[in-house]
Structure 1
Amino acid sequence: MTQTGVLVLDDSPTLPPRLRQALEEAGTTVQIRSPADVLAAERMPPLDVLLVSAEVPPNIVRAVARRLDDEGRHPEMLAYTETDFGALERHIRGGLDYLVPPFLTSLVRTRLRSCYVRAELGRTLRHIETQADLHRYERELEIGREIQLGFLPDSLPTPDGWGIDVRYRPARTVAGDFYDVFELVNRRRLGLVVADVCDKGVGAALFMALIRSLLRHTAEQSGTQSLMAVDLMAGEDGRTVPVVGATPLLNAVVGTNDYLTRNHLRQGYFATMFFAVLDPLTGSLVYVNGGHNPPVLVRAGGGAPVVLEPTGPAVGVLRDSAFSLGHAHLDPGDVLFIYTDGVTEARAPDRKFFGEERMLDLVCGGARTGADLLQRVDSALNGFVGTAEQSDDITMMTVHRVAS
């Protein structure tokens, strides 16, 4: 069984010496990569076995496995350890095979041969999948797409003097991106959400529906119960400003993060999101940016754009995460551009990225309305991607305060 490809998943660049020796004697090709390297790589080399250090958390292993699945790679997975058998047990309960000391060459060779045979069998079964199965799968995906579209707003509530526009383009039949616009605090405030669930496809779409429902329900209920709640926070100029709507906003984000990390951490899904509450009368905007691409606020009078940086981590990663509130203000003529990473990470046929710099040049190029800005960016994206396959979901939203 020569040339069995083994990818070792470990933050440490070295293997236990006896394990490395056994792998070499078993005739394998071994590469060691950290989880971050695998998730960031453009494309992984061929491999048959994913050998996981027990110290890598199971949810990270699942994220790496999904990353490999996206490329059509389905390696068999084993966990290994020298001393941390408690960590190893968590992986075994998750269905992984395992290797433990003394890492005898004969045992390692036998385990790898078994993994190689299972990998070959899996490839064969996937290859002979019937057209009837494919048709049924495509039909189920189409039903899923229709259901998912039902979670997106049919129309966008738009107060007088404002323009709100959206472009939404999934990379697959179902998507992990989502957006929402809804009224809060007795219709005195407007909730604005753009979010991106990690990964693509069916799993991400299911979590999209869950997270969207949690955010909206919690925000609406908190808003009903705190009509008179007024929070004080520092404005852009350092002065203290009163903010109505901050309570439902923060309750929604914190509550959603708490629910996901208590009940769904094993699935390994999380979401970056920008969730803002707008006061249409004053143009005041309070927001939480949970690890999301920073929205860009373009001033009508020109000058440097205002970038709304993250105020907390992605939602669904860690319990008891701290989320703080940010504040901005839209004057007449200003446009806020919110987007997901499908914009900046769009790829041309030569695999180059669209990039943040190119996007900022377009956003700050003097569009008269939010709709004009979306058309400008969307046209540039289409021209840049050309014949290449869309690599990620794309969502863009503009919030334009119309000049009086």
Structure 2
Amino acid sequence: MVQTKVLVLGEHRSVPPDLHDALKRVGAEVHVHSPGEVLATSPGRLPEVTVVLAHAELTPHTVRAVARRLDDEGLQPAVVAYADQEHLHLLDGHVGAGADYLVPPFHTHLVRARLRDCHEKAQFSRTMEDVAAHAELLSYERELEIGREIQLGFLPDDLPSPDDWEIHVRFRPARTVAGDFYDVFEIVNRRRLALIVADVCDKGVGAALFMALIRSLLRHTAEQSGLQSLIAAELMGEETTWAEHSRAIPVVGATPLLNAVVGTNNYLTRNHIRQGYFATMFFGVLDPATGNLVYINGGHNPPVLLSASGAEPVLLQPTGPAVGVIPDVDFSLGYARISPGDTLFIYTDGVTEARSASGLFFGEDEMIRQLTAAKVCGEGLLDHMDGALSEFVGSAEQSDDITMMAVHWRPPGPQSN
């Protein structure tokens, strides 16, 4: 039998001679302490014990206090009350409190049998705890899997594909559920394309819940505002344009964009600011006929506009703070033009903050270097970036959700990616 480590517990730190001899004969390792000594011992200094032999003259309350102190150390010993002839009547209280008991005469074979029973009960108890913990883990994993399925239901199954445009996405959660999300949908009677890539702070279940909320608010508001914007424009007889930054941008695309982002920000800051969740996001509205893009970058990593001409990449910098942080904040509009052959690369910080096994970050500079060196576009560009990230990270664990979107306008004529 595995050596039993016994703590004999009594106010007077004494052990009946026949009990002491029996414990020695069965090869037990014996420690003798008073309750006060055990309770006053610093964490990590208590002896490792599997059985507490508590004298019946101690109160059940005192024995429970000692047992809890040992439990705090991760020991979880079995508790056995013992008594000499004079204190047999005190055992009832301990037995009623759930303790085993040991009575004289303390013959060796009786003590051995009691210690064996304690050892077997402890093993059984640990086995049952392991089974319960495993069952709880399986239940938790199943709930996470359900959460993952629900979350994936919030992501688009198919992406719209206007003539001559390619839109591709890579979505790799760091956990079963993610805080990243993306969306692509048509608004304004299918005349504009909404492009969203966002990152809810934190990871896991909480971030996933807010991802579902924010995505629903953005899409619903943009779709409804897009219809209202179209009606207003048709009543005016033409699409009113804004001339800002030397570009004429259709207001039909800007109105649903502003309404969606501002409305979502105000809802979150009014109702959920205590939860502390917010999202960085890039929300662009594209006119596929002209390549005009109006956007709001709410504290998000700057998307990269790659030119087919070989010109320097253009970074679409933030135009406002993260969504859900500051009540009633003003979000400015950004403007860009995608020309035939150009590609817009939108991503979350899981790309730039990917870590190698040595702890180095992938970084924005390396990302841009890889994008410009790729010589491919559309899905081929995402394949290239996937390969570059995998090579950089190596054996290190993925530390954050990764989302990448490539929006490419195919130029006329034959193309090869």
Shorter-normalised TM-score: what interval? Answer: 0.5 to 0.7
The equivalent position to 2:216 in structure 1, one of 193, 213, 230, is 213
| Larger Rg belongs to | 2
The equivalent position to 2:242 in structure 1, one of 233, 239, 261, is 233
The equivalent position to 2:346 in structure 1, one of 332, 335, 338, is 338
The code of the aligned residue for 1:139 comes to: R
Pick closer, same or farther for the CA change 1:121–1:375 going to 2, 3 Å.
farther
The code of the aligned residue for 2:137 comes to: L
Question: Which residue is equivalent to 1:358?
Answer: 366
The code of the aligned residue for 2:334 comes to: G
Matched, 1:158 2:148: no
SS of 1:261's equivalent in the other structure is helix
The code of the aligned residue for 1:233 comes to: W
SS of 2:242's equivalent in the other structure is strand
Question: Which residue is equivalent to 1:329?
Answer: 337
The equivalent position to 2:287 in structure 1, one of 268, 276, 279, is 279
Q: Please say if residues 229 and 252 of structure 2, whose CA atoms lie closer than 8 Å, have aligned partners that are also in contact.
A: no
Q: Shift of the alpha carbon at 1:121?
A: 5.8
Pick closer, same or farther for the CA change 1:355–1:124 going to 2, 3 Å.
farther
Normalising by structure 2, we get a TM-score of: 0.65
Question: Which residue is equivalent to 1:141?
Answer: 144
Superposed CA RMSD? 2.2
CA–CA separation in structure 2 for the residues paired with 1:361 and 1:329: 22
Pick closer, same or farther for the CA change 1:273–1:187 going to 2, 3 Å.
same
SS of 2:373's equivalent in the other structure is coil
CA–CA separation in structure 2 for the residues paired with 1:334 and 1:181: 18
The equivalent position to 1:197 in structure 2, one of 195, 200, 205, is 200
Q: Percent identity over the alignment? A: 69
CA–CA separation in structure 2 for the residues paired with 1:344 and 1:216: 27
Unaligned runs of 5+ in 1: 1-116
SS of 1:351's equivalent in the other structure is coil
Q: Deviations over 1:62-111 (max 9, x none)?
A: xxxxxxxxxxxxxxxxxxxxxxxxxxxxxxxxxxxxxxxxxxxxxxxxxx
CA–CA separation in structure 2 for the residues paired with 1:159 and 1:150: 23
Over 6 Å off, 4+ runs: 122-125
SS of 2:389's equivalent in the other structure is helix
The equivalent position to 1:170 in structure 2, one of 163, 166, 173, is 173
Question: Which residue is equivalent to 2:83?
Answer: none
Q: Shift of the alpha carbon at 1:367?
A: 2.7
CA–CA separation in structure 2 for the residues paired with 1:348 and 1:330: 33
Pick closer, same or farther for the CA change 1:290–1:139 going to 2, 3 Å.
same
SS of 2:197's equivalent in the other structure is strand
CA–CA separation in structure 2 for the residues paired with 1:399 and 1:122: 57
CA–CA separation in structure 1 for the residues paired with 2:340 and 2:243: 21
Q: Shift of the alpha carbon at 1:233?
A: 3.4
Q: Deviations over 1:286-338 (max 9, x none)?
A: 00000000000000001111110000000000101110110100110000000
CA–CA separation in structure 2 for the residues paired with 1:220 and 1:241: 19
Pick closer, same or farther for the CA change 1:122–1:359 going to 2, 3 Å.
farther
Unaligned runs of 5+ in 2: 1-67, 77-128, 234-238, 413-417
Q: Please say if residues 249 and 292 of structure 2, whose CA atoms lie closer than 8 Å, have aligned partners that are also in contact.
A: no
The code of the aligned residue for 1:151 comes to: F
The code of the aligned residue for 1:137 comes to: Y
Q: Please say if residues 168 and 407 of structure 2, whose CA atoms lie closer than 8 Å, have aligned partners that are also in contact.
A: yes
Q: Shift of the alpha carbon at 1:369?
A: 1.9
Pick closer, same or farther for the CA change 1:358–1:123 going to 2, 3 Å.
farther
Task: Count the aligned residue pairs.
Answer: 285
Pick closer, same or farther for the CA change 1:222–1:121 going to 2, 3 Å.
farther
Q: Shift of the alpha carbon at 1:241?
A: 4.0
Q: Shift of the alpha carbon at 1:270?
A: 0.2
